[in-house]
Amino acid sequence: MLDIRPIPAFADNYIWMIVLPDGGAVVVDPGDATPVINSLQSLNLHLTAVLLTHHHGDHNGGISQLGDWAKSNGQSFTVYGAVTSDYSDVPCRDGDTVNISGLTSPVRVLSVPGHTLDHLAFVVDNALFCGDTLFSGGCGRLFEGDARQLYDSLAKLASLPDNTEVYCAHEYTLSNLKFALAVEPQNQCLKDYLKQVNTLREANKPSLPSTLGTEKAINPFLRVDKETVNAAVAAHAGQKVTDEVSCLALLRRWKDNF
């Protein structure tokens, strides 16, 4: 089992850290260097690698400072990111596998455009680090890509095993579930999950990770093939939903203004 720990950052980001048996650490999307450095120092770890899902500042903004800190401590780390990223020591493409010292399994790379065009996801054992493409109960906004790209990306993630643990980059779960309930108010799995998440958040615990099996049952953006979601979207938009991509596009527009 991987030892994966959340490092809270900014208002609602999680920087995920995989603690390695050899005293190293792999960090995902270090938007802020300070909490990462504090965590590394408190656990007496050295930074081995950074996995970078996309180019937004709350995900990559701490890399330069981390590099300076590592250099001052006689350390170095490798950044794995998109081919378009200036930070990437190892440019990654869809379908790549990379081996990181201290990890017993290779890291699988998935291209998942939509939120941004360069967005990657990383799969390590049964852990999915999906940045801002998939959230628990939701998905990322379409800043650069289109609905077809996002649909294909979410389908790619949904094709992973149901027990895959979902480590997304933001604590958006409660607000996402409020929207999901507006779409599917009779979804009992969704109502049960909301109770679980409320309990966790009231105890100031992360709602994450979720699992893909859970997301397929409660996340409307993974359920655009369901009649309940289609009917709700059509009623809200006041127009017929012709296919799953148009359903996703209208659903995302609804969420943007929710």
Q: Give the active site residues.
A: 54, 56, 58-59, 115, 132, 170
The answer to whether the beta carbons of residues 16 and 28 sit under 8 Å apart is yes
Token digits of residue 142: 């379409």
Residue 147, number of CB atoms within 10 A of its CB: 20
Q: Which amino acid is at 79?
A: V
The answer to whether the beta carbons of residues 116 and 130 sit under 8 Å apart is no
CB proximity list for 60: less than 8 A, separation 6 or greater: 29, 30, 31, 52, 54, 81, 85, 87
Residue 123 forms beta bridges with which residues? Answer: 108, 128
User: What distance in Å separates the CA atoms of residue 59 and residue 143, rounded to the nearest whole number?
Assistant: 15
Exposed/middle/buried for residue 15 (C-beta within 10 Å: 0-12, 13-18, 19+): buried
The answer to whether the beta carbons of residues 222 and 154 sit under 8 Å apart is yes
Q: Omega of the bond prior to 209 within 30 degrees of 0, cis?
A: yes
